[in-house]
Structure 1
Amino acid sequence: MFERPTANDCPPAPWKYVQLVPEGDLLEIYERQREETKALLSGLTDEQADFRYAEGKWSIRQVVGHFTDNERVWMYRLLRIARNNPQELPGYDEQIFAQYAPHERMPLDAVIEEYDAVRAASLTLLRHLPAEAWHRAGSFAGGRLTALAAACVSIGHEMHHIRIIKERYLSRF
């Protein structure tokens, strides 16, 4: 899938993540991102994964848990749209998710394993979407959302957080 959504395919708030996705085959980008993220994280110790660059900020393992949970949420939205069940799709509160997620107490290896399993499931879903499913749309955040846009939001959201990890966390080691 080389196509990209237009601004009409996505509400304004998540559109910023869609714009981060580079040109190329989306499935290859998902797979490459998976390998790059695992390589980046697997070089860290559990002590490094506890690092917070400022008071009140999430640790690295919480950030990874966040973008893993976020991918689950976006793939659920994508699935609902792709299966032509286009009701208003709910949002979620990332702070509440982080507060009740177990990532802070998990070894980093387990957090990476969970990330990898979620990405594997996402790739399986995306690889088997019929062509017409990518263009189906639902309603989200007061706007139109296509399955294609939902897939791009998930990629771009992780790109955003990996950039933050590199700039604000790993630069301190």
Structure 2
Amino acid sequence: MEELEKLKYPIGHFECPDEISKADINRWITVLDTLPKRLNDLVGGLNEKQLDTPYRNGGWTVRQVIHHLADSHHHSYTRFKWALTENRPLIKVYEEKDWSNLIDAKSAPISLSLNYLTAIHAKLVYLLKHISASDYQKSYIHPDGNMNVSVAENLGKYAWHSNHHYAHIKNLMERNNW
């Protein structure tokens, strides 16, 4: 079980600091800012067979992970906007596993999601660099457990999410000597 946990969570689980500092925010923004290029550089030379290889038994393929990142970060961008413009809105969750089984996630060219990630991250980073300290305290309600999630915490979660899935692909490539 320990080996499966390492494959599922190669960088561990997200742990939000009790006090989120300006340094945390800046570090997390940098992760979001650099992910599209890092991901493009990582997967740009992969062939179709490699893209359709799961990062672990029973896990998503590299292609599905890339499309999942675009889908998930699209949702996150919307959550940031809702939190910044509404009073603690209740967000809608989505069934990411079902989304990953749709035809686009299973077979579309990864360039679609890589290009989308580049655009959505550019918009998100621009937004996050220009909001006030008090905006980082605004929040939304996640329906799973009615959890209050601040803009700052959501930023940390998606920086972690970026590195989490990047590590899935990188570790697979290292194991297979690609």
With the length of structure 2 as denominator, give the TM-score of the two structures. Answer: 0.75
- 1:155–1:72: structure 2 CA closer, same or farther, 3 Å change rule? same
Runs of 4+ deviating beyond 4 Å: none
Taking a change above 3 Å as real, the CA distance of residues 115 and 103 of structure 1, as seen in their structure-2 partners, is farther
State how far apart, in whole Å, the 1-side matches of 2:44 and 2:51 are.
10
Give, in whole Å, the separation in 2 of the partners of 1:112 and 1:51.
Answer: 18
- 2:129 aligns with 127
Deviation at 1:137, TM superposition (A): 2.0
Q: Which amino acid aligns with 1:77?
A: R
Query: In 2, are the aligned partners of 1:17 and 1:160 still within 8 Å (CA)?
Result: no
Unaligned runs of 5+ in 2: 1-12, 18-22
Identity of paired residues, percent?
Answer: 18
| Matched AA of 2:172 | R
- Report the Cα offset of residue 116 of structure 1: 1.6
Determine which structure has greater relative contact order: mean sequence separation of CA pairs < 8 Å that are 6+ residues apart, divided by chain length: 1
The DSSP-based 3-state class of the residue aligned with 2:141 is strand
Alignment of 1:36-55 (within 5 A): 36-54=38-56
Among 143, 152, 155, the alignment partner of 1:151 is 155
* 1:42–1:112 CA contact under 8 A, matched in 2: no
Aligned to 2:119: 117
The normalised TM-score by structure 1 is 0.77
What pairs up with 1:20-169 in 2 under 5 angstroms? 23=24, 25=26, 26-54=28-56, 56-100=58-102, 102-140=104-142, 141=144, 142-169=146-173
RMSD: 2.4
Gaps of 5+ in 1: 1-15
